Amino acid sequence: MELQVKGGNTRQSETRFGMASIILALIFLVFLNALVLTERMILPGGLFMPLPGIGLLCGLIGLARFRKKFSYSVFGILLNGACYVILFLYFVASLSVYPVP
Amino acid sequence: MTDEFKERLKRYHEGQLSADEEAEMERELDKFDVYQSFLDEQEEEDHTEINSQEVIRKGWFHQRFSIIATVLTILLLIIPLLGLSSKIYYVGKASDLVDLTTKTVYLTEPNVTVGEGQLDVNDHFFNMSFTMDLYKQVGGEKVRIGEWDVLYDLNRVDYPDYPNRNYVIENPPLDIPRPEEKKLYHPDEYAPSSGWDQLEQLPDGTVAEVYISFDQLYRESDIKELLGQMRTDWQWFAVNTGLEQNGKSVEGGYMTPIGYPSESNARDWSPREGIDDRGNSNEEQFLRVMKELEDYEQQATDIARTKWLDLKERNDYLDENGVEVYGAVITGPVEELLSLKERREIRNMKVGEVRLWNYK
């Protein structure tokens, strides 16, 4: 009985928010692949652009749940952050390839 | 539990049993305690078993989720990172490659200019493409003669598929130049009959682009007065680079002329404003661009129609002898052009594009 009580106090399970954060980042990466391959917004950008932001929020909520493991949350936050960084660099580089004087 | 045992239990509770009966009753009750204890332990073990299964199930799920998420992340990052790397590769380099292309056109295509305005440069996975609209000055107007599609794989032209040349004029230049289309002749080179008769047959009020070959080598400044106050204007000068006398490259291939536009507007040398706006004369600009192209000779040769540029040999000759011209492209009204027939400086003339009067 005592073991059961102690087990409930340890970080033994991941949060659903952490998982959601990773899944949102992966969905956004699919959109990013389509964008890079076609050089056009064949998927609606308005629908996909907010995904990493929502993913980051989910990751932060997952981190705030101290009694749970937070590896998914950290992974989700890093992946969503990387998505935004890649997207930003991609557009900046696109504008810089042949700049209009 | 029998009625008799219940009656005995009641009497034990009320203290009515004899000492022997009471002792026996207590022994039986002890057995019940042991049995109850056994039942409790059994129940606890069953409960623990259920929790373990749940933990194992969750463990499997999380393990599978982690593996799938990691693999998908790696796979989905490949294309965006490659695309980003390609973009970063062409930052700065794309402008150089576009300039290299346009400068090659200006130097190797007589009286051809690249359309004003920004080129539409598209970069993909480690290649970039763009289309140049080409124009010729004929009379008072720039006439569109066609377009060249250029594709670079990294920093090399995707030759021979590119440049893809599309012309909209009646007699477009050949993709692989041949001596039959030659229009400019070195003073020491045999020149066939001139095209004055052809020019005389053109009706009044037409304008033409003509290629004139001089009787000797001239400095640009010495020959510029030839046209006087005429509406006819210089468009392009063919420069003697030491190989024109034989008309062949070092390897023996047929060479087209190399030269520079007479237009003083620096922007005409590049679609990007200001790239060559250094206040230099066209001769100095020509020498500088020749040096620049020497560093990218393979790319320039792939872009140019002629397959031999021999830029090193030509630059060495130019360093030694300076810029002297042996021919030029001029354009203006046919009557004015015909008035040049008797000028001793003009040894040969060939007619190029002809249009109706287009001076404003």
Q: Note the pLDDT of residue B118.
A: 66
* Chain A nearest-CA residue for B270: A101
CA distance A32 to chain B (A): 7
**Identity of the residue numbered B215:** D
Q: Note the pLDDT of residue B250.
A: 86
Q: Hey, what are B301's tokens?
A: 């040769």
Which of A11-15, B73-77, B233-237 bottoms out in mean pLDDT, i.e. has the lowest? A11-15
* Chain A nearest-CA residue for B82: A36
What is the distance between the alpha carbons of residues B73 and A76, in angstroms, rounded to a whole number? 11
Same domain, B170 and B198: yes
Q: Which of B51, B123, B272 sits opposite A97 (nearest CB)?
A: B123
The DSSP-derived string for B263-315 is ---GGGG-SSTTTT-SS--HHHHHHHHHHHHHHTHHHHHHHSSSS---HHHHH
* Chain A nearest-CA residue for B117: A100
The total of structural domains in chain B comes to 2
Partners of residue B62 in chain A, C-beta under 8 Å:
14
Same domain, B306 and B333: yes
Same domain, B111 and B191: yes
Partners of residue B73 in chain A, C-beta under 8 Å:
25-26, 29, 79
Of the three residues B87, B104, B134, the one that is the final residue of a domain is B87
Same domain, B239 and B102: yes
Same domain, B24 and B129: no
What is the distance between the alpha carbons of residues B342 and B346, in angstroms, rounded to a whole number? 8
CA dist list (Å): B145 to A47, B111, B165, B168: 45, 11, 10, 5
**Identity of the residue numbered B83:** G
Domain that holds residue B144: 94-356
Q: Note the pLDDT of residue B275.
A: 44
Same domain, B223 and B137: yes
CA dist list (Å): B344 to A69, B200, B213, B223, B335: 95, 18, 11, 12, 18
Tell me what the mean pLDDT of segment B224-228 comes to.
86
Q: Note the pLDDT of residue B263.
A: 73
Beta strands B156-157 and B141-153, pairing class: antiparallel
How sure is the predictor about B111, in pLDDT bands with cuts at 50, 70 and 90? very high
What is the distance between the alpha carbons of residues B119 and B99, in angstroms, rounded to a whole number? 11
Which of A19-33, B38-52, B125-139 bottoms out in mean pLDDT, i.e. has the lowest? B38-52
Tell me what the mean pLDDT of segment B84-94 comes to.
91
Residue B272 to residue A30, Cβ atoms within 8 A? no
What is the distance between the alpha carbons of residues A90 and A84, in angstroms, rounded to a whole number? 10
Given CB atoms, is B88 within the 8 Å cutoff of chain A?
Answer: yes
Of the three residues B87, B111, B132, the one that is the final residue of a domain is B87
Q: Note the pLDDT of residue B15.
A: 85
Tell me what the mean pLDDT of segment B110-137 comes to.
87
Averaged pLDDT score across all residues of chain B: 87
Considering only residues B318 and A68, tell me which one the structure prediction assigns the higher pLDDT: B318
Which of B175, B174, B195, B176 has the alpha carbon at shortest distance from B184?
B195
Which of A71-80, B57-66, B262-271 bottoms out in mean pLDDT, i.e. has the lowest? B262-271
Same domain, B20 and B132: no
CB within 8 A of B328, min separation 6: which ones? Answer: B211, B212, B214, B223, B234, B235, B236, B237, B238, B262
Same domain, B138 and B107: yes
Q: Hey, what are B33's tokens?
A: 């305690």
H helix or E strand, kind and range, residue A2: helix A2-9
Same domain, B180 and B77: no
- Tens digits of per-residue pLDDT, A18-69? 999 999 999 999 999 998 888 877 778 788 889 999 999 999 998 887 777 8
Q: Hey, what are B20's tokens?
A: 């022997």
Same domain, B131 and B221: yes
Residue B83 to residue A94, Cβ atoms within 8 A? no
CA distance B304 to chain A (A): 22
pLDDT at B270 over 60: no
Same domain, B52 and B164: no
Residue B83 to residue A90, Cβ atoms within 8 A? yes
A78 in Cβ contact with A18 (< 8 Å): no
CA distance B112 to chain A (A): 23
Phi, psi of B164 (to 5 degrees): -95, 110
Of the three residues B87, B112, B145, the one that is the final residue of a domain is B87
- Tens digits of per-residue pLDDT, B181-198? 889 999 998 888 889 999
Residue B91 to residue A100, Cβ atoms within 8 A? no
Q: Which of residues 69-98 of A touch B (CB under 8 A)?
A: 75, 79, 82, 86, 89-90, 93-94, 96-98
pLDDT at B266 over 90: no
CA dist list (Å): B271 to A101, B26, B99, B312, B332: 10, 111, 7, 26, 25
How sure is the predictor about B264, in pLDDT bands with cuts at 50, 70 and 90? low
> Model pTM greater than 0.90?
no
Q: Where are the domains of chain A?
A: 13-96
Same domain, B155 and B72: no
